[in-house]
Structure 1
Amino acid sequence: MITPLAQAETVLNHCWEHWQAVANRADLKPELRSLSELRKRLGSRLFSIAVFGLVNRGKSAVLNALTGETRLKVGPLNGVTQQPQSMLWRPESGIPWRVRLIDTPGLNEVEGEAREQLAWDVARSADLILFVIAADLTQLEYQALLELRTLHKPILLVLNKCDLYSAEDLEAIRAQISRPQLGLGLEILTVAACPKPVKVRTHWPDGRITTDWERPAPQMDALRGRILQILQTEAGSLLALNVLKRLDRLQAQILRKQWQHHAGFVDRWSKACSLAKGLGIGLAPLGLDLLLAPLLDGLWLLGLCLRLRLPWGTLRGALGSRQEGLWRPLVVNSALLLLAEGLGSWLWGGWGSGLFPGLVAGVSLYRLGDLAPQVLTQFATGGFGLAASLNALIGGDKLATKQSATALPVGSPL
């Protein structure tokens, strides 16, 4: 049985090899560099976990406590994390994964729009998201979670600073967040990454009694255990899914640049094919023109696919799709051709039965050129087996439907 990672590697390698023919194009360098990074990431089995949330929720402290090392700067002031910071973590022996932990800037920093965008960029590339809160959800946190869910990534809701609450208060917060009307359905894990110091009295042999402040050990077992479980059972599928979705976006970017780069050829080719179709239909005997029309349409589409280096299967998908393919406008063009032949024969006689249908055929094909980029690009992004692999991982119905939840009006109590 082919594993999700092996399937993703096959698709990614096909895509990489296909676009090597245009690797010298300066405008495609960023996309091809990203493709190369995706291949390296798959080969090194690197799993990314990003910590997300508002400022002053203890995101950096959570990562420090998770690794058992103080690698990230923490502090009481907002905005300590100015840029995304990453570190490698080896969870324990027996886990065949290298884990990259990424700390992100808070979302609600004053004049921190650029840092907020950096955090969103990291969230889009991560395989697993930890969303850290420190109390019941605020409106901003709720809206951020709704947006994060549209990325179709697993999210663990981490309730930090649990040492500040009683068991009853923690249960009340859980119940509040888990209300069905919020529509989140997220797993909630309680942690205390940097517990509040407590007073400790020490009795000495000489009878002295001293009082000191000591910080208890972090309470991270629930989060660490859940992450280890994910790494053991789901990491391969999650990494493969994330890589393929990023590949899908890169494919769309490359194809968009392909259309821009070959815009002159596309226009000239459409005009030439439209003229050839008009002359061919106009000069062909009645009946033969109905056979010639679809052949010329096919030649036009084939020329576009070859020049733009669209994956094999693009043309088949564009013509065969019942909902969004090109077969509908092509059928409409054929119907217009039949109507034009009838009107031409009725209104102008012999010469009109050829000239008028030829004019209609040529114009209709040229106008179809406005629709071709959108349709062909849509089916080309799923080339190299990409669409089939995504469907196999998460199912066609889940792929087409974004996770959704009804947002509360601004100012509504959570």
Structure 2
Amino acid sequence: MTALMRRPMLVGGVSLSLGLWLLGSFQHSLAQMGEFSLLSAIALSSLFWWLNAKRTPQLDLSPVLTPVDRETAEKAIAQAETAIGYLEAENQDIAPWKAKLAQLKPELDRNVLNLVVMGGKGTGKSSLVQALGNQWNVQEAPALFVPETDSDTLAYDLASTADLVLFVTNGDLTESELQSLSQLSRQHHRLLLVFNKQDQYLPEEQPLVLQQLQQRVSHLLASEEVMAIAASPSEIRVRKHQPDGSVQEWLEKPESAIAPLSAKISQILTTEASQLVWATTKRKADRLKGEIKDALNQVRRDRALPIIEQYQWIAAATAFANPVPALDLLATGAITGQLVMDLGAIYQQKLDLQQAQTAAKTTGELMLKLGLVELSTNTISHFLKTHAVTYVAGGAAQGISAAYLTRVAGLSLIEYFQSQDIHSETGFNLEKLSNTLKTVFQQNQRATFIQSFVKQGLAKLFPNTPQPQLSESPATAA
């Protein structure tokens, strides 16, 4: 309790709501507060504490792609090292991560280059690997777009370690193939699009297909980076007329027609060797940082969940104690604002009061627009119908609903912070926060969860009352 008293936003908001209630008991003027929207109530709770706060511009936290040079690769390695430092600050074993980091630094000066051939099933990847294998270190990735397998994941994992990716198709691109190329491009992969099996098209069709491919990927690749080959041409029938008038026929296997592709690969590996290595090293560093971030997020989530639980029951007790509905929303807004501050501290987000206010305001506004307030109250009231303390069911529903909404807000903040870059320390992407809230609410509206939550709420509000058998609401069953 002493720690909570040090939080002026929380104490001020709750105190303000109670003060308004006391004033209303004399003037009978707060009955109309029920007409206030959730947004208005939260704004009132914010006014007292943020009147003099300096407004700060919203930061755009969307990633910006930059060319990969040695400095960029070294920066990525440094960020992975910083992430290890965050994990160490959480008293975690960092020895395995340091070992992986040590393997990255020599990568910057690597001389041997790696190629990966990837694409859908039946595009001729194996034949191309065989045709190129005598010249370079080439690997074949598992086939993409194979349902009910993890081949896509395995293919992209292998591609992430390659310096040059040959993406193979045997005709015009499908939408899935185009999306894959876009994804690889965003990850700074050096790409060549290879139109294989061109021999299966009529001679007059081959340039048309190639031109179509070049146009489809013109935003990703230069036209000379889209090439037509025949890695393993189909057998052709040869007929020879003999001097005696007889005719001999046999099937003959043409040689691979990959000379232009081989020349292009040689040119790239000669003139861009360093850049290719740096881009690959950056991808490996980014992947290592992502793995560290996942471990760090789990540790921080374990710390954050008890805080959310603490605030949700504060919200429940505050809403249950206040007889005027709008004042419940007023206190809940202050509680949510303080929750933003506390969770932000756990996730190393340097938030000021103005930013916490904005996040709480946006969260409350979206809850109102989505109908979360009405839906949660109606659902929770249904579960309370058969409870023995019927005479306080309204207050109980209000209190438990406030706790539920506070929990949804807290879980949304966790998901939002976890999705942020590990080095982001300020600002909110409000659209992203809104989308996260929608997702988290959908995940937490199952009847079984709400029924369990109501039982927990009753145990908190009425600790000396036997727990009831609650009926299930068909409307919320999932």
TM-score (norm 1): 0.52
Q: In the alignment, which residue of structure 2 is the partner of 1:375?
A: 413
Do residues 310 (structure 1) and 310 (structure 2) align?
A: no
Q: In the alignment, which residue of structure 1 is the partner of 2:263?
A: 221
Task: Specify whether residues 59 and 42 from structure 1 end up closer, same or farther in structure 2 by C-alpha distance, changes over 3 A only.
Answer: farther
Do residues 171 (structure 1) and 207 (structure 2) align?
A: yes
Could you list the per-position Cα deviations for residues 303-338 of structure 1 after superposition, in whole angstroms to 9, with x for gaps in the alignment? 4355xx42243x45993697xx344347999xxxxx
Shift of 1:3: 1.4
Do residues 136 (structure 1) and 171 (structure 2) align?
A: yes
Task: Specify whether residues 112 and 194 from structure 1 end up closer, same or farther in structure 2 by C-alpha distance, changes over 3 A only.
Answer: farther
Shift of 1:188: 0.5
Q: Residue 104 of structure 1 contacts residue 118 of structure 1 at CA under 8 Å; is this kept in 2? A: yes
Q: Residue 233 of structure 2 contacts residue 254 of structure 2 at CA under 8 Å; is this kept in 1? A: no
Shift of 1:51: 1.8
Q: In the alignment, which residue of structure 2 is the partner of 1:10?
A: 78
Do residues 247 (structure 1) and 289 (structure 2) align?
A: yes
Task: Specify whether residues 331 and 42 from structure 1 end up closer, same or farther in structure 2 by C-alpha distance, changes over 3 A only.
Answer: farther
Q: Supply the AA of the counterpart residue of 2:310.
A: W
Shift of 1:13: 0.8
Q: Residue 54 of structure 1 contacts residue 106 of structure 1 at CA under 8 Å; is this kept in 2? A: yes
Aligned match for 2:107, one of 37, 41, 44? 44
Shift of 1:131: 1.0
Q: Residue 312 of structure 1 contacts residue 383 of structure 1 at CA under 8 Å; is this kept in 2? A: no
Task: Specify the SS of the correspondent of 1:113.
Answer: coil
Do residues 159 (structure 1) and 201 (structure 2) align?
A: no
Shift of 1:4: 0.6
Shift of 1:52: 1.0
Do residues 103 (structure 1) and 140 (structure 2) align?
A: yes
Could you list the per-position Cα deviations for residues 247-303 of structure 1 after superposition, in whole angstroms to 9, with x for gaps in the alignment? 3576357525743x3575134322465378779x98xxxxxxx9x998865654444
Distance 1:245 1:61 in 2: 31
Q: Supply the AA of the counterpart residue of 1:18.
A: Y
Task: Specify the SS of the correspondent of 2:408.
Answer: coil
Could you list the per-position Cα deviations for residues 175-209 of structure 1 after superposition, in whole angstroms to 9, with x for gaps in the alignment? 132345x887544134455678999xxxxxxxxxx
Distance 1:22 1:294 in 2: 30
Task: Specify the SS of the correspondent of 1:189.
Answer: strand
Could you list the per-position Cα deviations for residues 195-245 of structure 1 after superposition, in whole angstroms to 9, with x for gaps in the alignment? 78999xxxxxxxxxxxx9995795211233234444344552464256436
Distance 2:72 2:121 in 1: 36
Aligned match for 1:119, one of 148, 151, 155? 155
Task: Specify whether residues 173 and 371 from structure 1 end up closer, same or farther in structure 2 by C-alpha distance, changes over 3 A only.
Answer: same
**Identical residues among aligned pairs (%):** 16
Q: Residue 192 of structure 1 contacts residue 218 of structure 1 at CA under 8 Å; is this kept in 2? A: yes
Q: Residue 164 of structure 2 contacts residue 276 of structure 2 at CA under 8 Å; is this kept in 1? A: no
User: Which structure has the higher relative contact order (CA within 8 Å, separation 6+)?
Assistant: 2
Distance 1:125 1:17 in 2: 25
Q: Residue 160 of structure 1 contacts residue 193 of structure 1 at CA under 8 Å; is this kept in 2? A: yes
Task: Specify whether residues 383 and 59 from structure 1 end up closer, same or farther in structure 2 by C-alpha distance, changes over 3 A only.
Answer: closer
Q: In the alignment, which residue of structure 2 is the partner of 1:328?
A: 362
Shift of 1:146: 2.3
Q: Residue 104 of structure 1 contacts residue 122 of structure 1 at CA under 8 Å; is this kept in 2? A: yes
- Residues 166-315 of structure 1 correspond to what in structure 2 (within 5 A)? 170-179=206-215, 185-186=220-221, 187-191=225-229, 193=231, 215=255, 219=259, 220-233=262-275, 235-237=277-279, 239-240=281-282, 243-244=285-286, 247-248=289-290, 251=293, 254-255=296-297, 258-259=300-301, 261-262=302-303, 265-271=306-312, 273-274=314-315, 299-305=338-344, 309-313=346-350, 315=351
Q: Residue 52 of structure 1 contacts residue 104 of structure 1 at CA under 8 Å; is this kept in 2? A: yes
Shift of 1:39: 6.2
Task: Specify whether residues 327 and 44 from structure 1 end up closer, same or farther in structure 2 by C-alpha distance, changes over 3 A only.
Answer: farther
Distance 1:303 1:264 in 2: 11
Task: Specify whether residues 159 and 317 from structure 1 end up closer, same or farther in structure 2 by C-alpha distance, changes over 3 A only.
Answer: farther
Deviates more, 1:11-20 or 1:32-41: 32-41
Task: Specify whether residues 273 and 15 from structure 1 end up closer, same or farther in structure 2 by C-alpha distance, changes over 3 A only.
Answer: farther
Could you list the per-position Cα deviations for residues 354-404 of structure 1 after superposition, in whole angstroms to 9, with x for gaps in the alignment? xxxxx999975762331233234424543543699xxxxxxxxxxxxxxxx
Task: Specify whether residues 326 and 197 from structure 1 end up closer, same or farther in structure 2 by C-alpha distance, changes over 3 A only.
Answer: same
Q: Residue 125 of structure 1 contacts residue 242 of structure 1 at CA under 8 Å; is this kept in 2? A: yes
Distance 1:54 1:332 in 2: 42
Normalized per residue, which structure has more helix? 2
Q: Supply the AA of the counterpart residue of 2:168.
A: V
Task: Specify the SS of the correspondent of 1:137.
Answer: coil
Could you list the per-position Cα deviations for residues 59-81 of structure 1 after superposition, in whole angstroms to 9, with x for gaps in the alignment? 244345445259xxxxxxxxxxx
TM-score (norm 2): 0.46
Aligned length: 303
Task: Specify whether residues 35 and 168 from structure 1 end up closer, same or farther in structure 2 by C-alpha distance, changes over 3 A only.
Answer: farther
Shift of 1:103: 1.5
Q: Supply the AA of the counterpart residue of 2:343.
A: L
Task: Specify whether residues 125 and 302 from structure 1 end up closer, same or farther in structure 2 by C-alpha distance, changes over 3 A only.
Answer: farther
Task: Specify the SS of the correspondent of 1:105.
Answer: coil
Distance 2:272 2:164 in 1: 9
Shift of 1:9: 1.5
Q: Supply the AA of the counterpart residue of 2:268.
A: R
Task: Specify the SS of the correspondent of 2:420.
Answer: coil
